[in-house]
Structure 1
Amino acid sequence: VEDPSYAFALSRLSTQDLRYTPVGVFRSVQRPTYDTEMAAQLTTAQARGEANLQKLILGNDTWTVA
């Protein structure tokens, strides 16, 4: 199990005079890039077709902020 707190603790290990400061990659996380996720979101939105604001406002999926 990957523990992000371990990487955080390593990143904070340094002396006051900065003689011993950890340098390097402490944790490698494999996740999709922002561009990939944004492109997927745009593709999904375009596949839904044109939006209808009037239908959205008059629909059942509304709420009131008080």
Structure 2
Amino acid sequence: VEDPSYAFALSRLSTQDLRYTPVGVFRSVQRSTYDTEMAAQLTTAQNRGEANLQKLILGNDTWTVG
């Protein structure tokens, strides 16, 4: 189940004396790791080539404040 609310509800099921505290894995999500996603993002950025800072600063998206 992808909905995290069930795992959160289970984690709140305990008593004051801790005799009935749930322990274990409440939720297991299958997705890529941070390292894998970061490497993919860096590869995508490198494949775009060198950026032009001057073009970025003087770009078309401007607005007037005041």
- Identify the TM-score tier after normalising by the shorter chain: 0.7 to 0.9
Deviations 1:6-64 (A, max 9, x none): 11111111110111110111111111110000000000010011111001111214556
C-alpha separation in 1, matches of 2:12 and 2:54: 53
Compute the RMSD of aligned alpha carbons. Answer: 2.0
Count, aligned residues: 66
Residue identity (%): 95
Structure possessing the higher relative contact order (Cα contacts under 8 Å, 6 or more residues apart): 2
Which residue is equivalent to 2:28? 28
Unaligned 5+ runs, structure 1: none
Runs of 4 or more, structure 1, over 6 Å off, are none
Unaligned 5+ runs, structure 2: none
1:40 matches 2:44: no
Normalized against structure 2, the TM-score is what?
A: 0.83
Going from structure 1 to structure 2, the CA distance change for 1:2 and 1:38 (only over 3 Å counts) comes to: closer
